[in-house]
């Protein structure tokens, strides 16, 4: 017996690899989380990866951010599904970092914790009147029409609105404008949430302004989205020719950037195309450049409700880094509207107990390794804690950008593993420990199988309405679908 | 001999593609020209199984080809001989079809990617006639459909040609570490699909629907880049967002193999390599 025990211990010391796999926990199941999981599974044989998300549905912004009329962008979900179905990987939905389990507890249970929970908040303008009714962030509006369960009861007032103002000219702004202006029969065959489709059908919005601080040469949108919105049926595009004048600095910028060049060409073509016929129920899209919001105007009839935006004209000057910045010129004008959507950027939510760079909206890190701020010059990396995705780089980039981001983070993990910084020989309870902990706290976990139940239910409901899927947009419906 | 093996091509509804039957000679001998009443006054037994099958074939052939009623007489005179004759007639009628079927099957099997449907088809034992009518009509189109499905899955703007497995060009992929891999790509296949078939690490997030830039490859020689057709607006839109864009960048799902591209070398961009000719690479979303 003693010999057996000693042989076992002897064997164990050489086979720590098989008995103690590297346990990795990824918080966030969007593109960053899944790409990180895929690369960890490939780089570390035998690693056990758990992807944790606070929603019962995985895939993050691919599900709740990509516009319903862009189904091809969502095809990447197939690749993520294959990762989740890998035997060494599991998805744990309905687990909230902070309320269900804390970060120190996760770091206790896993060798490696990767934070990839993205950006669930917004940048603020910080101008008077920002808290009026009728002013929302574009993120909330996008979550609402994409059936995010947190925004089921968002209910934007589209029936008493004739004009909507969108602050910002990035792709999210264009998405929101397109959903507001697109004929609803075209939206009826997409996976847009049903409550949003009903609201849009009864919408009286006929005019949408896209307001940007700088000019067409600095517009943050990309050619594909711009082309799409300029091609919407029965939509009148208004662009002022005077805005299209290029300064020498603009020429320089355009020369160096292919994206900006193509966007500028599209805008100048749209400005020169004269739309002669105007139908009775036509819709208008106005591109307003060189204006920034100064304050919001309150309505006389409805208190605390927005009735317009007080805009200040801007001009561009170069700053120290050579970038052109917009500064006010003290010339003002007003735009009347009943709804304002701020599309000026997302912002991450800080994690409790970790430093946070509020200016850039990221957790301070070096190539994905979270660093804790020390008083000295050198920043100490936190052991076993990493970031990936928007939380690491800031809320910019497309789905594919996370590929390279994940590669960098995973190579940092592999390097640290090789240097022995991750205590791979210490036994960590990993998935079993986490499930036990959650069970003790009465938190019911949604497994990937249960998500597949939700998925097939959504597709079944969608097939009844000629849609690819009918999203279950409330917590109750989701719980009923996966737990019966 | 009591039993013979009869190989018959698919010429009868609800029959599998190729099947064989063990036929009892006696049953063949019992086949007669359908007279309402036999000399003895008894009504003939209803035909079942193979005799009914053969009866069906002969009437089918007769009806479609308007053969004068020589055959039935021949059958009547000598049942065994007539059954062989019938067999050969039906075989000869269907030899072209049979050979086409067999050729395509051999082609698919040799190329190693036998479409799922066909595999199931051939392996099904002769006794199972569980085929729905639609499938039977589509049986010759199954080959094309499965091939096209694979092509369409990977190349949105494909030339539309069927992949020709015989003609291949050699392509070299250079991965992020500079390692080269030489592969053979059949004409008509996209580079993305070829990379996936040869375990080359080329991402294809949108699976060839021009909605991402993850299959971005850099054509290493300008002369080959010029041999490619100009990218469409949609491809250019996606290339705008590609990491490490260069002057000779293309999307792998849009580069379709053709004979002029023999020997082309494609580099997979690395995150660290900054080929951006345009200076900084903006990251919109």
pLDDT at A379 (0 to 100): 75
Residue B146 neighbours by CB under 8 Å, 6+ apart = B115, B116, B117, B118
Q: Which residue has the higher pLDDT, B70 or B284?
A: B284
The angle subtended at Cα B61 by Cα B60 and Cα B63, nearest 5°, is 65
Residue contact A256–B280, C-beta within 8 A: yes
The angle subtended at Cα A285 by Cα A281 and Cα A289, nearest 5°, is 160
- Per DSSP, the residues of chain B read --EEEEEEES-STT--SEEEEEEEHHHHHT-----SS-TTSPPPPPP-HHHHHHHHHHHHHHHHHT--THHHHHHHH-HHHHHHHHHHHHHHHHHHHHHHHHHHHHHHHHTT---HHHHHHHHS-TT-----HHHHHTTTHHHHHHHHHHHHHH-TT---PPPEEEEEEEEEEE-TTS-EEEEEEEET-BHHHHHHHTT-----TTTTSSS--TTEEEESSHHHHHHSPPPPHHHHHHHHT-TT--TTEEEGGG-B--GGGTTEEEEPPPSS----TTSS-----
* Whether residue B141 has pLDDT greater than 70: no
Dihedral sign for Cα atoms in the order B227, B228, B233, B237? negative
* Residue in B with minimal Cα distance to A175: B285
Q: Which residue has the higher pLDDT, B15 or A97?
A: A97
**Confidence tier at B142 by pLDDT (50, 70, 90):** very low
* Whether residue A210 has pLDDT greater than 90: yes
Using alpha carbons, select from B97, B109, B88 the residue that is nearest to residue B121.
B109
* Whether residue B119 has pLDDT greater than 50: no
**Confidence tier at B108 by pLDDT (50, 70, 90):** low
Query: Do A223 and B240 contact (CB within 8 A), yes or no?
Result: yes
* Whether residue B208 has pLDDT greater than 60: yes
The angle subtended at Cα A52 by Cα A49 and Cα A54, nearest 5°, is 175
pLDDT at B243 (0 to 100): 85
Q: Which residue has the higher pLDDT, A293 or B95?
A: A293
Q: Which residue has the higher pLDDT, A114 or A233?
A: A114
Residue contact B240–A262, C-beta within 8 A: yes
Query: Do A424 and B267 contact (CB within 8 A), yes or no?
Result: no
Residue contact A398–B283, C-beta within 8 A: yes
Q: Which residues of A touch B284 (CB under 8 A)?
A: 170-171, 220-222, 259, 396-398
- Whole-number Å distance between alpha carbons of B283 and B285: 7
pLDDT at A6 (0 to 100): 64
Tell me the count of A-B CB pairs closer than 8 A.
Answer: 89
* Whether residue A137 has pLDDT greater than 60: yes
- pLDDT, tens only, A324-334: 999 999 999 99
Q: Which residue has the higher pLDDT, A338 or A278?
A: A338
pLDDT at B170 (0 to 100): 95
Q: Mean pLDDT for chain A?
A: 92
Give the nearest partner residue to B284 out of A76, A78, A171, using CB atoms: A171
Q: What number of other Cβ atoms are within 10 A of residue A22's Cβ?
A: 22
Give the nearest partner residue to B205 out of A222, A257, A399, using CB atoms: A399
- pLDDT, tens only, A370-418: 998 754 567 788 999 999 999 999 999 999 999 999 999 999 999 999 9
Over range A337-345, report the average pLDDT. Answer: 96
Using alpha carbons, select from A442, A347, A434, A457 the residue that is nearest to residue A396.
A347
Give the nearest partner residue to A401 out of B203, B211, B283, using CB atoms: B283
* Whether residue A159 has pLDDT greater than 90: yes
Residue contact A227–B233, C-beta within 8 A: yes
- Whole-number Å distance between alpha carbons of A148 and A32: 19
- Whole-number Å distance between alpha carbons of A471 and A459: 8
Give the nearest partner residue to B285 out of A78, A258, A397, using CB atoms: A397
What value of ipTM does the predicted structure carry? Answer: 0.86
Q: What does the block give as tokens for A324?
A: 């052109």
Measure the CA dihedral A186/A346/A27/A441, to 10°: -90
Pairing of strands B164-174, B216-219: unpaired
Q: Which residues of A touch B205 (CB under 8 A)?
A: 75-76, 79, 399-400, 403
- pLDDT, tens only, A342-367: 999 999 999 999 999 999 999 999 99
Using alpha carbons, select from A179, A95, A165, A184 the residue that is nearest to residue A444.
A95
Query: Where is average pLDDT lowest: A196-210, B82-96, B189-203?
Result: B82-96
Burial environment of residue A402 by CB neighbours within 10 A (0 to 12, 13 to 18, 19 or more): buried
- pLDDT, tens only, A83-100: 999 999 999 999 999 999
- Whole-number Å distance between alpha carbons of B215 and A441: 44
In chain A, the percentage of residues whose pLDDT exceeds 90 is: 86
Q: Which residues of B touch A219 (CB under 8 A)?
A: none
**Confidence tier at B120 by pLDDT (50, 70, 90):** very low
Instruction: With 0.90 as the threshold, say if the pTM is over it.
Output: no
Q: What is the DSSP letter of A454?
A: H
B90 to A101, A449, B158, B159: CA distances (angstroms)? 74, 53, 41, 39
Query: Do A462 and A455 contact (CB within 8 A), yes or no?
Result: no
Q: Which residues of A touch B203 (CB under 8 A)?
A: 400, 403
* Residue in B with minimal Cα distance to A259: B240
- Interface of A to B at Cβ within 8 Å reads 70, 72-73, 75-76, 78-79, 170-172, 220-224, 227, 256-260, 262, 395-401, 403-404, 407-408
Pairing of strands B264-267, A369-372: unpaired
**Confidence tier at A7 by pLDDT (50, 70, 90):** low
Give the nearest partner residue to B237 out of A70, A170, A222, using CB atoms: A222
- Whole-number Å distance between alpha carbons of A353 and A351: 6
Query: Do A221 and A171 contact (CB within 8 A), yes or no?
Result: yes
Q: Which residues of B touch A72 (CB under 8 A)?
A: 206, 209-211
Long-range CB pairs of A148-151 (<8 Å, 24+ gap) are A148/A64, A148/A473, A149/A55, A149/A473, A149/A474, A149/A475, A149/A478
In chain B, the percentage of residues whose pLDDT exceeds 70 is: 39
Over range A167-176, report the average pLDDT. Answer: 97
Pairing of strands A163-167, A207-211: parallel
The reply to whether A344 sits in an annotated binding site is no
pLDDT at A20 (0 to 100): 78
CA distance B131 to chain A (A): 26
B201/A contact by beta carbon, under 8 A? no
- Whole-number Å distance between alpha carbons of A481 and A458: 9
For residue A107, the number of C-alpha atoms closer than 13 Å in the C-beta half-sphere is: 14
The reply to whether A61 sits in an annotated binding site is yes
Most confident of A183-192, B108-117, B145-154: A183-192
**Confidence tier at A273 by pLDDT (50, 70, 90):** confident
* Residue in A with minimal Cα distance to B156: A72
Dihedral sign for Cα atoms in the order A70, A75, A77, A80? negative
Q: Which residue has the higher pLDDT, A294 or B47?
A: A294
Crossing angle (nearest 10°) for helices B79-110 and B70-77: 110
* Whether residue A449 has pLDDT greater than 50: yes
- Whole-number Å distance between alpha carbons of A340 and A293: 11
Q: Which residue has the higher pLDDT, B13 or B34?
A: B13
């Amino acid at each position: 017996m003693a010999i057996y025990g000693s042989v076992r211990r002897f064997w164990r010391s050489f086979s720590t690899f098989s008995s103690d796999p590297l346990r990795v926990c990824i918080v966030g199941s969007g593109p960053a989380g899944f790409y990180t999981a895929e690369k960890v599974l490939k780089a570390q044989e035998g690693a056990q990866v758990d992807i944790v998300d606070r929603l019962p549905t995985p895939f993050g912004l691919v599900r709740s951010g990509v516009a319903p009329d862009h189904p091809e962008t969502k095809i990447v979900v197939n690749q993520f599904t294959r990762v989740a179905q890998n035997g060494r990987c599991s998805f744990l939905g309905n687990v909230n970092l902070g309320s269900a389990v804390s970060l120190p507890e996760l770091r206790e249970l896993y060798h490696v914790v990767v934070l990839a929970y993205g950006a669930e908040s917004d940048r603020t303008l910080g101008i008077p009147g920002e808290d009026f009714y009728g002013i929302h962030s574009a993120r909330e509006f996008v979550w609402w029409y994409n059936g995010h369960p947190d925004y089921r009861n968002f209910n934007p007032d589209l029936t008493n609105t004739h004009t909507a103002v969108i602050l910002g000219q990035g792709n999210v702004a264009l998405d929101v404008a397109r959903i507001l202006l697109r004929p609803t029969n075209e939206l009826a065959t997409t996976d847009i949430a049903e409550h949003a489709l009903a609201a849009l059908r009864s919408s009286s919005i006929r005019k949408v302004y896209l307001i940007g601080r700088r000019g067409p040469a600095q517009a943050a949108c990309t050619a594909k989205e711009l082309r799409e919105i300029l091609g919407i049926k029965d939509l009148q595009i208004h662009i002022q020719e005077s805005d299209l004048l290029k300064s020498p600095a603009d020429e320089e910028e355009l020369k160096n950037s292919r994206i900006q060049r193509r966007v500028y060409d599209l805008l100048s073509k749209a400005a020169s195309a004269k739309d002669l016929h105007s139908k009775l129920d036509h819709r208008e899209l106005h591109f307003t450049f060189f204006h920034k919001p100064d304050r919001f105007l309150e309505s006389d009839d409805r208190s605390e409700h927005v009735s317009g935006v007080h805009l200040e004209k801007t001009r561009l000057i170069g700053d120290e880094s050579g970038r052109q910045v917009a500064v006010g010129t003290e010339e003002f004008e007003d735009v009347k509207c009943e709804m304002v959507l701020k599309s000026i950027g997302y912002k991450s939510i800080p994690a409790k107990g970790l430093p946070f760079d509020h200016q850039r909206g990221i957790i301070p890190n070096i190539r994905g390794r979270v660093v804790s701020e020390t008083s000295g010059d050198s920043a100490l990396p936190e052991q076993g804690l990493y970031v990936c995705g928007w939380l690491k780089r800031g809320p910019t980039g497309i789905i594919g950008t996370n590929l390279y981001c994940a590669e960098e983070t995973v190579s940092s993990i592999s390097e640290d593993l090789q240097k022995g910084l991750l205590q791979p020989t210490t036994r960590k309870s990993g998935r079993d420990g986490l499930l036990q902990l959650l069970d003790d706290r009465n938190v019911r976990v949604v497994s990937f199988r249960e998500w597949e139940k939700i998925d097939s239910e959504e597709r079944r409901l969608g097939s009844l309405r000629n849609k690819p899927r009918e999203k279950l947009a409330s917590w109750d419906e989701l719980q009923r679908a996966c737990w019966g | 001999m009591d039993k013979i093996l009869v190989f018959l091509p698919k010429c009868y509804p609800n029959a599998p593609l190729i099947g064989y039957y063990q036929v009892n000679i006696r049953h063949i001998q019992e086949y007669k020209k359908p007279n309402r009443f036999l000399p003895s006054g008894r009504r003939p037994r209803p035909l079942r199984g193979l005799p009914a099958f053969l009866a069906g074939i002969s009437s089918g052939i007769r009806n479609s080809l308007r053969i004068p009623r020589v055959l039935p007489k021949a059958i009547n005179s000598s049942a065994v001989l007539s059954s062989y004759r019938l067999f050969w007639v039906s075989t000869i009628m269907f030899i072209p079809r049979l050979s086409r079927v067999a050729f395509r099957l051999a082609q698919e099997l040799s190329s190693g990617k036998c479409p799922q449907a066909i595999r199931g088809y051939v392996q099904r034992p002769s006794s199972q006639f569980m085929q729905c009518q639609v499938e039977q009509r589509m049986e010759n189109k199954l080959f094309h459909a499965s091939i096209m499905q694979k092509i369409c899955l990977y190349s949105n703007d494909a030339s539309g040609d069927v992949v020709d497995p015989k003609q291949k060009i050699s392509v070299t992929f250079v991965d992020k570490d500079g390692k080269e891999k030489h592969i053979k790509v059949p004409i008509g296949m996209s580079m993305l699909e070829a990379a996936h078939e040869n375990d080359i690490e080329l991402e294809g997030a949108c699976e060839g629907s021009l909605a991402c830039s993850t299959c971005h490859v850099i054509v290493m020689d300008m002369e080959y880049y010029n041999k490619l057709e100009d990218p469409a607006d949609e491809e250019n839109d996606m290339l705008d967002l590609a990491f490490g864009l260069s002057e000779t960048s293309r999307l792998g799902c849009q580069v379709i193999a053709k004979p002029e591209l023999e020997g082309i070398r494609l580099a997979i961009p690395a995150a660290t390599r900054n080929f951006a000719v345009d200076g900084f690479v903006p990251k919109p979303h």
